[in-house]
Chains A and B, each alone.
Chain A
Amino acid sequence: MIVSPRTSRFKLFVTRITSLAMVCSLTLLIAPPANAQKRGSSSISSKLTQLVNQRSNIRVLSAFIEVVDTPSKSTVEILRDNKRQAIGTIVDADGLILTKASQVNLVMLKGELAPLVCKLANNDRHEAKIVSINKEYDLALLKIDVKRLDPIRFTLQEDPMVGAVLASTALGDKPLGIGVMSAASRTIKQSRPMIGVQLKDIVDGARVESIVSGSAAKKAKLKIGDVIVKIDMKQIKDTQTLISTIKEYQPGDIIRLLVKRGEEQLELLCTLGEYSSGPNQARHEFQNHLGGKLSSRRSGFPMVFQHDTFLNPEDCGGPLVDLDGNAVGINIARAGRVASYAIPAKVLPELIAKLMLDAESSEVSTSSE
């Protein structure tokens, strides 16, 4: 119950300022202290927006230039239509790049998707292909046709100690963000996927009765009265089939809905959200979203550790390094207002090896066809 959801920033500051005034006057009433207002009188809101003392201000980030010098050469930006989708980590000199799968693996209903492009530290751009995916960890392996890249150096240590100072690398000379190790590696349970509709059984499917605001259904432009006929390849007979079908997916998955709207049949793409129930959880979710967007896939990881670097969803997929410039993990999700998750270095070699094997075997099967 940190703050009521409706308290806007502005309102909050106003109340704080008034309460400050109130307490000061009270203090004066009780016993006039020597210095009732000892420090500067500029308003709290202006102080919060001032960058000068923030932990990630430019002067602090500049101290990390030496730290990220080497690992930033192993970092790429992954673009589509010139817009950054994610950060990538070079894991192989011959053009293999690791990134967050759900940020780059999109589907389109019609037409061609613009190709993925990797922008390297030297500003070169290369078209990239997804060669394999690990759904469990939401990792994708990309291939670009370039040789002699600088692969990232992973640390050999166990997880960083709680309190370790960490930097997330970017293409520039300064890090994308900095933070500390917040909590040791653990399993993050899969939260249930949610589409966000209330349904009613009708003769030949499930009819949408209401749509939760801000939900996956809303974003997919589903409308009240639509009858959901099919999800991907699965025929939807009734509400029950729809619920059990959705349960087989993960939040962040994109599903293809076949919908009957009046006489029309249309296809919609819908990115599943995370399930939240009851006002308490809804409030927590609300607070979690204060301060920035979260990754659509942010739960269900077999092993991740938590750090407090402020990241955007499109900042995930890149290296997270310690003060020696060695990668301690790969950022995999912006999970909440206070939490970013990283896959620890200790599990990465095995995951990378597996992704490479998968890439190879799929290549073999396509070439033998």
Chain B
Amino acid sequence: MLTLNINGADHQVDVPDDMPLLWVLRDVLGMTGTKYGCGIAQCGACTVHLDGTAVRACVLPVSNIAQGQKIVTIEAVGKSDLGKKVQDAWLEHEVVQCGYCQSGQIMSAVALLTQHPDAGDAEIDAGMSGNVCRCCTYTRIRGAIKSVSQA
């Protein structure tokens, strides 16, 4: 039995040690905002925060998460001021098309802006290139991030 602190609450889960966090979130806890896209940390759809840092949940075995480490997912990222700002910017800039990657994009953007509150193009390129958007909403993602970082 493992205890995971997710979005501020402790969850007891009885899962195999090697089970990636992604499937614990989605198939055990029913938190489906975090998406599966590739399973090998190539697309970023599964991005969540572990102690504030963006991580790919599809390759993170739950046993590698230390007791007390805080996991934040798309379902709760809007509870922080920055998370809410980013979600609002996404709507304001009409970023979303199919929307499947956007949970991961937003989680990466919030982590980027936490580290670089005034992120410009170079930081955006570096911080966001792990997230694939097949609808290619990149122009608007960049615009939305800049509206927060350069406000």
Q: Are A and B genuine complex partners? A: no
Chain A interface residues (CB < 8 Å from chain B): none
Chain B interface residues (CB < 8 Å from chain A): none
